[in-house]
Amino acid sequence: MADRKKCVIVGGGAAGIMCAARLIARGVKPVIVEASARVGKKILVSGNGRCNLSNANVSAEKYNAPKFVAPVLERYPFKELIEWWKRLGLITRTDGEGRVYPHSNYAGSVLNILLAAVREAEMITSCPVKDIKAAGGGFEVICQNAIISAENAVLACGSGAGGGRASYNLLSGAGHTVTPLTPAVTYLVTDKFKGLKGVRAKVSAVLDTQFGTWSDRGEILFKEDGVSGILAFWLSSFLARNRCSGTLSIDFAPDMTEEELKREYGDRRELLCGLLHKALADKLLREGGLELVKNYRVKVTPAKTDSQVMCGGAAVEEWGEDMQSKLHKGLYCIGEMADIDGECGGYNLHWAWVSALAAADSIADRL
Ligand SMILES: Cc1cc2nc3c(=O)[nH]c(=O)nc-3n(C[C@H](O)[C@H](O)[C@H](O)COP(=O)(O)OP(=O)(O)OC[C@H]3O[C@@H](n4cnc5c(N)ncnc54)[C@H](O)[C@@H]3O)c2cc1C
């Protein structure tokens, strides 16, 4: 067929554009079909506008399906990914906790570099793909007013998290299983902290569930209906993956022993505001006293809104290490559309990049 494309990428987000960039570097000119008027919108809002694009501590255990992710991470090690970004033109910086940001500290740099890398790609925007059909040894990608025929098709539609467009019907239409979807990397819901909105605290916290226990130190930020901040975001993934609630035990003075706390404030409790924000100190004293500072227990569930990713998506058993479908040769699924979710800290974008590279290299090798 004369106008049959080598590869069509459905979704111009992080994974889709990176896939196109690699294909172009390998001499394949893809078509990107994007539902929105602009590509890469989520990249711009990621990391509070700074784009935490990877993490130096990346390992398979940072993801919900370590066995599936491991070979992809091995094939594209962290250092090589950073080198690849440099080759594209993006210089990065890594903070003390391994989080990688663009040197500019500006998410726009990541998108601009990707757009520069895909200048040669055919880009169709404002064009939501409705369906995808296997036809003549390739695929027909069906849009509102056009059908695009291609040898290979890459599904890179992301998820509904953060106001994204969910297009899992494209997977089920192609006969693939979609696992149940639950918002993750979000805040923890509880009504115990009403009135503390905007207050921050450096804490250590332990999350107990029937499926396991997770603990770490970090900053939390109270909301009217829950607890936010990186630590809460991180913990939310374990609740979301197991679709359960849990009990959070918060230590508001992780650098002090109980004895030290008693020695300092035992007979002058009114001065606890010298250790904690006054609103928080007053609340703890009102509800039970000094003991609550080291062990405040509260039931939490992951919020349904404000999530950064979705647990669930394309069932990984049906896809290979190169992100290719085991049902249809030449069909790929990358990024967050797959049932892969990473912890908070740059791991989700890291997955978007490496899964995109795996698919692009597989397509280029096969052509
Ligand atoms: C507020 C926020 C902050 C975040 N911060 C971070 C962070 O700092 N670090 C990190 O690692 N992760 C972060 N994430 C998560 C990260 O942004 C996503 O995991 C990542 O963008 C997934 O990339 P993707 O390409 O798979 O999907 P997306 O980036 O969502 O792209 C999918 C694209 O497909 C398009 N699309 C959908 N359906 C169709 C269709 N039918 N036809 C055509 N196009 C379609 C969409 O419009 C979209 O452009 C954040 C997420 C949010 C919401």
Q: CB atoms < 10 A from the CB of 303, how many?
A: 21
**Ligand 1 atom at shortest distance from the alpha carbon of 348:** 11
- The rounded mean pLDDT for the chain is 96
Instruction: Tell how far the Cα of 131 is from the centroid of ligand 1, in angstroms.
Output: 20
Instruction: Tell how far the Cα of 38 is from the centroid of ligand 1, in angstroms.
Output: 13
Instruction: Tell how far the Cα of 204 is from the centroid of ligand 1, in angstroms.
Output: 30
Q: Does the structure show a pLDDT above 70 at 87?
A: yes
- Label residue 165 by pLDDT band (50, 70, 90): very high
Q: What is the pLDDT of residues 263-279, one digit of tens each?
A: 999 999 999 999 999 99
Q: Does the structure show a pLDDT above 60 at 322?
A: yes
Q: Cβ(339)–Cβ(179) under 8 Å? A: yes
Report pLDDT for 365: 97
pTM, 2 dp: 0.95
Q: Is the CB of 34 under 6 A from ligand 1?
A: yes
Q: Is the CB of 261 under 6 A from ligand 1?
A: no
Q: What is the pLDDT of residues 280-316, one digit of tens each?
A: 999 999 999 999 999 999 999 999 988 999 999 999 9
Q: What is the pLDDT of residues 109-122, one digit of tens each?
A: 999 999 999 999 99
Instruction: Tell how far the Cα of 42 is from the centroid of ligand 1, in angstroms.
Output: 5
> What structural domains and CATH numbers belong to the chain?
5-182+307-366 (3.50.50.60), 186-302 (no CATH)
| Cα 342 to Cα 336: distance, rounded to the nearest angstrom | 9
